[in-house]
Amino acid sequence: MERAVDEYLNFLAVERRVATNTLEAYSRDLNSYLEHLREAGIEALDRASSTEIVSFLGKRREEGLSAVSVNRSLAALRGFYKYLLREGKIEKNPLAHIELAKVWMKLPDTLSKEEMNVLLAQPGAAKAAAVRDTAMLELMYATGIRVSELVSLRMRDMNWQVGYLVVLGKGEKERIVPVGKAAYDALRYYIEKARPLLLKGKTSEVLFLNRSGQGLTRQGFWKLVRGYALKAGLHKKVHPHTFRHSFASHLLEGGADLRSVQLMLGHADISTTQIYTHITRDRLREIHKRYHPRG
């Protein structure tokens, strides 16, 4: 069983070019699953049934894992069993006829449009770093890119003539994302006025720089976001991914089609994007309850 897991992880790394962090997480999930099977007296993958998988996922939840982590374990198992079936190592997929993701699905945290406007106004423009932060926050909200994609941006990734970003996402896949006027203007102002001050005579292709003229880290940006959320008086748990979630839900609330949002987010499977339709429906119910005379 260990060999099968190793072969699958190697397949993800070489054939699918999956990110290192994802590989490490899947390795932990799959090895925990193998341990669970052994405790149940199962020594071969083709003897495991859907009952063992449900039991394993339930155990993970009882151990205190978040809904996101349990869903990741499920994703790891789905991919693993599809691989085993394709390679002829098992004859049937125990996950083929069960849908478990919704059981542990946790709706992502989002900000309202009003809350987002307050948050975006926090950095100001008094210092070069503040101008940079405004550009980063505006760009995150305008494009829905991941924080890892944001801090990896290079100067050449912005097309000024057309107004879009070329983003290198998961699996080294490129996608094109439009940049709205507010983010476009904030980014242009940062490049013209603030970035040269942060460079301090150095040269760099990295778009967003720290005070030392080096690229920002994900952790560094997370701290900035948290600090501005507190400054804005937002009591919600705000993190970089909140911008991505808000971007998607606000687009759908405004009438955007799901396929377009999927392309801009860089989701390989549209089912991943569909979680945001739950948020939109919740918002519609809230509006109906608040404004309808019989609500």
Catalytic residue (choose from 33, 81, 190, 276)? 276
Residues with Cβ within 8 Å of 270's Cβ and at least 6 positions away in sequence, in order, are 258, 259, 262
Question: In which residue are the tokens 């390795």 written?
Answer: 27
Whether 244 sits among the annotated catalytic residues: the reply is: yes
Report d(CA 77, CA 228) in Å as an integer: 38
Residues with Cβ within 8 Å of 128's Cβ and at least 6 positions away in sequence, in order, are 193, 194, 195, 197, 198
Catalytic residue (choose from 60, 195, 244, 250)? 244
CA dihedral 259, 141, 204, 223 (to 10 degrees): -130
Whether 231 sits among the annotated catalytic residues: the reply is: no
Cβ–Cβ < 8 Å for 234, 115: yes
Whether 267 sits among the annotated catalytic residues: the reply is: yes
List, in sequence order, every residue forming a beta bridge with 256; answer none if it has no partner: none
For residue 95, the number of C-alpha atoms closer than 13 Å in the C-beta half-sphere is: 23
Catalytic residue (choose from 36, 146, 245, 250)? 146
Burial of 83-122, coded b for 16+ CB within 10 Å and e otherwise, reads: bbeeeebbeebbbeeeebbeebeeebebbeeebbebbbeb
In the sheet with 174-178, reading across from the earlier edge strand, the strands are 158-159, 164-168, 174-178
CA distances from 182 to 139, 155, 178 (A): 9, 18, 12
Catalytic residue (choose from 16, 226, 239, 241)? 241
Cβ–Cβ < 8 Å for 181, 202: no
Whether 288 sits among the annotated catalytic residues: the reply is: no
The helices-and-strands tally (H runs, E runs) of the chain is: 15, 3
Catalytic residue (choose from 72, 132, 195, 267)? 267
Report d(CA 5, CA 227) in Å as an integer: 41
Catalytic residue (choose from 16, 28, 170, 175)? 170
Catalytic residues: 146, 170, 241, 244, 267, 276
